[in-house]
Amino acid sequence: MNHKIVFLDRASLVATLRAPKFAHAWQDYDQTQPDEVVARIADAQIVVSNKVKLSGEILAQTPQVKMIAAAATGTDNIDLAYCREQGIVVSNIRNYAVHTVPEHVFMLMLALRRNLLGWRQDLQNGLWQQAEQFCLFTQPMNDLHGSTLGIVGSGVLGQAVRKLAEAFGMHVLLAEHKGAGTMRAGYSAFDAVLRAADVLTLHAPLTDVTRHLIAEREFNLMKPTALLINTARGNLVDEAALEAALKTGRIAGAGFDVLAEEPPRQGNRLLDLNLPNFILTPHVAWSSREAMQILADQLLDNIEAYVAGSPCNRVA
């Protein structure tokens, strides 16, 4: 059988894709708009998507699709319930970002904890040049060593962040699920972690349960000296509540790599948040060149495993 494979957003992956080890026809599209999806996968048996939405409505019009290879770990762009109902195999990517995301977390954490943006602004304003001594004390600066890191989401990425944190000499708390009635060994109550953390970092998937996991209530539990880091999904945090917390000093700072809607074509309140204690990067924590090549290789492994009759990394 000659399998038709369509990659709907090839430009989202800067890596070399090897040819599959079976008879196939492969079609790449750099990007795909919502109204183009059905036509582009009309004769495909295997669809590759990073962030292009594949709803049940779309898949109902393309019944020949038998496998969706997610070019990412997150699958909130795919209607998994429909795929399970119709027997469409969905495989995702696992553990490829185990170095790049934790390093990005610590980049944000260090920049905020040591007030990098504030120092840069002071130099641009000429404060050092005018100083009466050899250094400035215009910005507060704190060590990571000895501080407490709260981790929400203790999968592979959360555990990798934990390992780095312990190397920095941080005390680490793993948050139990919000509202949980019982505590797993080694975990602390969600609210207790929020109260204790000097830095809170999010590594949970986006689900109906975790949407707006951090909102006004949670910000009110946090220390006014605490930082919030989010490299997971934008909708884990109520963005309006975050803006208010930063502007009122409810928390000391935040570092985000994600927004509720991406790309933010209609704008976003966080894009306009020009504060020295807020850093926003454009969903790039996952995308070191090394990590993207690991992703590309595993993507082909998933497709080849499906064609061989032994699907792996299945989420549906």
What separation in angstroms does the CA of 118 have from each of 111, 132, 162, 256? 10, 19, 27, 17
pLDDT per residue as tens digits for the range 43-89: 999 999 999 999 999 999 999 999 999 999 989 899 999 999 999 99
Pair 140, 199 in one domain: yes
Same domain, 118 and 214: yes
Considering the domain architecture, whether residues 110 and 246 belong to the same structural domain is answered as yes
Which residue, among 229, 254, 255, 259, has the nearest Cα to 244 in the 3D structure? Answer: 254
CA distances from 238 to 41, 59, 213, 263, 273 (A): 35, 31, 8, 17, 15
Query: Are the C-beta atoms of residues 62 and 44 closer than 8 Å to each other?
Result: yes
Instruction: Examine the domain organization and report whether 156 and 303 are in the same domain.
Output: no
67 and 178 co-located in one domain = no
Q: From the candidates 40, 113, 162, 233, give the one annotated as an active-site residue.
A: 233
On whether residue 75 sits in a domain, the answer given is yes
Q: Determine, yes or no, domain membership for 226.
A: yes
**Alpha-carbon span 10 to 26, nearest angstrom:** 11
Do residue 247 and residue 121 come from a single domain? Answer: yes
pLDDT score at 201: 98
Q: How far does CA 124 lie from the centroid of its chain?
A: 32
Supply the pLDDT for residue 1.
81
188 and 125, same domain (yes or no): yes
Residues 117 and 40 occupy one common structural domain: no
CATH number at residue 16: 3.40.50.720
For this structure, is 261 an active site residue?
A: no
Cα 305 to Cα 83, 100, 280, 299, 301: the distances in Å are 18, 26, 38, 10, 6
Q: Is residue 316 part of a domain?
A: no
Report if residue 314 sits inside a domain.
no
What pTM was computed for the model?
A: 0.91
Verify that 88 and 227 share a domain, yes or no.
Answer: no
As for how many domains the chain has, the answer is: 2
Whether 242 is covered by a domain: the verdict is: yes
* CB contact set of 210 (below 8 Å; sequence gap of 6+): 204, 233, 236
The CA-CA-CA angle for residues 141, 112, 293, to 5°, reads 140
Asked if residues 48 and 5 have their Cβ atoms less than 8 Å apart, the reply is yes
Residue 262 annotated to the active site: yes
Residue 144 inside a domain? The answer is yes
Q: Is residue 312 part of a domain?
A: no
What is the span of the domain harbouring residue 222? 100-280
Question: How far apart are alpha carbons 122 and 114 in whole angstroms?
Answer: 14
Residues 247 and 163 in one domain: yes
| Residues 117 and 172 reside in one and the same domain | yes
User: Active site residue: 262, 289, 290, 314, which one?
Assistant: 262
- The answer to whether residues 183 and 300 belong to one domain is no
In a domain, 285, yes or no: no
pLDDT value at residue 263: 92
Q: For position 223, what pLDDT does the model report?
A: 98
CB within 8 Å of 213: residues ≥ 6 apart? 152, 178, 202, 204, 236, 237
Instruction: Give pLDDT < 70 ranges for the chain.
Output: none
Q: Which of 113, 162, 177, 283 is catalytic?
A: 283
The answer to whether 3 is a known catalytic residue is no
In one-letter notation, the amino acid at residue 306 is Y
Mapped to the 3 state alphabet, what secondary structure does the chain carry?
CCEEEEECCHHHCCCCCCCCCCCEEEEECCCCCHHHHHHHCCCCCEEEECCCCECHHHHHCCCCCCEEEECCCCCCCECHHHHHHHCCEEECCCCCCCCHHHHHHHHHHHHHHCCHHHHHHHHHCCCCCCCCCCCCCCCCCCCCCCCEEEEECCCHHHHHHHHHHHHCCCEEEEECCCCCCCCCCCEECHHHHHHHCCEEEECCCCCCCCCCCECHHHHHHCCCCCEEEECCCHHHECHHHHHHHHHCCCCCEEEECCCCCCCCCCCCCCCCCCCCCEEECCCCCCCCHHHHHHHHHHHHHHHHHHHCCCCCCECC
